[in-house]
Structure formats: C-alpha cells, structure tokens
Amino acid sequence: MTTSNAAETPTALALPILDEDLANRLRRRMAVVEDALAGHVRSEAEFVTTAARHLMEAGGKRFRPLLVLLAAEAGTTPESDDVLTAACVVELTHLASLYHDDVMDEAALRRGADSANARWDNHIAILTGDFLFSKSSELTAELGADAVRIQAQTFTRLVEGQILETVAPAEGADPLEHHLRVIAGKTGALLATSARYGARFGGASREIEEALSAYGEIVGAAFQISDDILDIASETDESGKTPGTDLREGVPTLPVLLVQRSTDPADDRLKELLAADLSDDDALAEALGLLRKHPAMDEAKAYVVGRAAEAKALLAALPLGPVREALEAFADAVAIRSA
C-alpha cells in the first residue's frame, strides 16, 4: 500500500493512547489508511464514487481501523501492508452497514449530514452499501483464504444482528438476551474481527490474537450499551444524537428492557409511557425524567462496568507496556462514559 501526502497529516485518535510515541505511530498509519480509503471507494462511475464517499467524508471516529493498528502493535510486524489493508477492510464493512442501517431505520441524518437514503433514495443507499461490501471483500481476498472466512463469518453475524433487531424475540425467549445478541452481532462482531486482524497480520501469537478478539467483542458491545445509556442520561447530544432519540423511536435498550421486566407497581406509569407513542415532547420528557431516576440506569451502568472489567482481564495475555495500557484505557473509558 503506497503512501501520499495524507500520511504526513496529523490525525486525531478515537482511542485514548497514553504513550506519545505509540500515538504518533498510530496517527501516521491512520493517515495512510484514510488516504487509502478514499481510493478504495472510487468507482469508474462518478455518481457511484460520490455516493460511496458520502458517509466517509461526513466523518466518524474510525474506531475499527484504529483498533486494527493498535492490536498489530502487540505483534512483531505492526507496519505490515496487510495490517493497513485489514484496517481498510473493517472500515469499509462498517461504512457499508451504515448505509443499510439508515434505510432500515428510515434515518434522515447520519453524522450530522443527510443520510444517503434521504439525499437520494433507498435504492441508491442499499446499492451503495452493497458496493462498499464488495470493495471490502475484494480487499479481504488480498489477505488470504482464512481472512475471507473470518470476513464471511463476521458479515453473517452483522446481518443476523440487523435482522434480529427488526423482529420480536421468539415466543418464550428473554427479550433482554435477544437484545444482547443483537448488539453482539451488530457491534461486537466487527470490533472482534478488527482486533483479530490486527493481531494476526501484525505477527502476534495465537494466544494474543484470541485474547484480543475476545476483548474486541466485549468492549464493542459494552461501548454500544454505554451509548444507549447516554441517550437517556445525557441532557446534551454528547452521544452523537439528540437525547431520547431511542425512546422516541421505540428502539429497545438495556435500561428500558430492565424496566419492562420489573414487577414493581411503582413502575407502572413508566412502563405505560414506554409502551406508548413518544413522539409528543411532553410524554418523552416525562419518560426521560422517570427513567433517569430509575434503578435500571444504575443496573445498566453496572453491567457496562462489569463487561469492561472482563475485557481488561483478557489483556493479561499481553506484556505490560504502552499497547496494553492503551487497550486498558479504552475499556476504562467505556466504563466511565456510562457512569
């Protein structure tokens, strides 16, 4: 993978990297990845290029490619071109899923810009997502047959998670377990693959690869749940969306599901609101007020803290040093942001 002037551009890092030398290396490589992504979404058809660049140029934290690069630092060949390719694979996969998500959610905005389906239409958004999935598959083929298998398995889990989010739990199934399975598929799976790719193509041992993959799965799901908690707890848009958006749209989240399983009569009013149409601002404000004071919020926060601790425990497979410290700091940040 070739570099360009973009490789010299300072890049903000989405993860808390405490060691400055490590941070500088990751900034340089992330700039190379960013430059490469711009090339990978280019098509011979100008309109396709415009549509494919739409969400990428709207920004984003780039957690997944950064995790690839950071995990690679646990190995002997962190500067391998395969690591950079893998970083592009996971980000293209993530971007593709966003196009499809917005169609399914009928979203008008993504990252502060018009969603592709709002700017054009559902057909364009779906096909652009397909285009990006195909580009990620092309790149994965460069990494070998085993990477293709891992990518296919990851894609399966992403799609299953998205489908399960749109259907009610099976009769007799626990809605909470159903919800956690959705999050594991939609968010945990790709974070797990990001960490696995980084470790594998960075030359880490199989023990470290497996530990980092499990870490990515857990911390990814915990991060999503912490986002859901912030959607309720925050009175600003620090979670990236207007507080109460999930409630208004009827999206199930961990705190809501915990309330719904409550048998305490004192929760009847809140449960009534959660089951109703919350498009009315007053009803939404009442639901938010009651939910913010409910013990379910502390229970959900404790769940995130516990999952973050599990993720950190897995890092015992790594030697002490800046890489392990950075991964521990990410898990801590996930726990703190929900507290």
Cα–Cα nearest to 258, from 177, 335, 173: 177
**What is the structure's pLDDT at 7?**
37
Cα–Cα nearest to 78, from 25, 123, 8: 25
Q: Tens-digit pLDDT profile for the chain (339 aa)?
A: 444 444 344 467 878 888 999 999 999 999 999 999 988 888 777 866 777 676 666 667 888 999 999 999 999 999 999 999 999 999 999 988 887 676 665 555 454 556 556 555 677 778 887 888 899 999 999 999 999 999 999 999 999 998 898 888 888 889 999 999 999 999 999 999 999 999 999 999 999 999 999 999 999 999 999 989 998 987 765 545 577 888 888 888 999 999 999 999 999 999 999 999 888 899 999 999 999 999 999 999 999 999 999 999 999 999 999 999 999 999 999 888 755
| Cβ count within 10 A of residue 116 | 27
Q: Which domains are seen in the chain, by residue range?
A: 1-204 (1.10.600.10), 206-339 (1.10.600.10)
Spatial neighbors of 311 by CB under 8 A, at least 6 apart, are 214, 215, 218, 219, 222, 331
Question: Hey, CA dihedral for 9, 10, 14, 15, is it positive or negative?
Answer: positive
Given a contact cutoff of 8 angstroms between Cβ atoms, the answer to whether 274 and 287 are in contact is: yes
| Cβ count within 10 A of residue 11 | 19
**What is the structure's pLDDT at 338?**
57
Question: 241 exposed, middle or buried (CB, 10 Å; 0-12, 13-18, 19+)?
Answer: middle
The CA-based angle 57-63-66, given to 5 degrees, is 100
Q: Is 0.85 surpassed by the pTM of this model?
A: yes
- Chain position carrying tokens 């570099």: 3
**What is the structure's pLDDT at 266?**
93
Q: Distance between CA 225 and CA 188 in Å, rounded?
A: 11
Reduced to 3 states, what is the DSSP secondary structure of residue 274? helix
